[in-house]
Amino acid sequence: MKTTRKALRDGDLFKDTYERLNCADCEMVLKTENDSDEVFSARICPECGSEFKQLR
């Protein structure tokens, strides 16, 4: 699972005009999945299922 920062640099993600993270492949806004035991949030694309982690 890539971090959101690395995915932005690699072109796997992009930010729209409202600063939301979008998947570069299907252009869908990423959803957030929080696990209280982890120090990061999982960002998941609802269309293709790609997962990225974002530090909280």
**pLDDT, one tens digit for every residue, the chain (56 residues):** 899 999 999 999 999 999 999 999 999 999 999 888 888 999 999 999 999 999 87
Query: If we measure between CA atoms, which residue out of 26, 34, 30 comes closest to residue 44?
Result: 30
The gap from C-alpha 44 to its chain's centroid, in whole angstroms, comes to 6
Domain count, the chain: 1
- Residue 47, CB-side half-sphere exposure with 13 Å CA sphere: 9
- CB within 8 Å of 41: residues ≥ 6 apart: 32, 33, 34, 35, 53, 54, 56
What is the domain range of residue 35? Answer: 2-55
Take residue 17 and report the two structure tokens written for it. Answer: 């005009």
Q: In the structure encoding, which two tokens stand for residue 25, read together? A: 């492949």
Instruction: State pTM to two decimals.
Output: 0.83
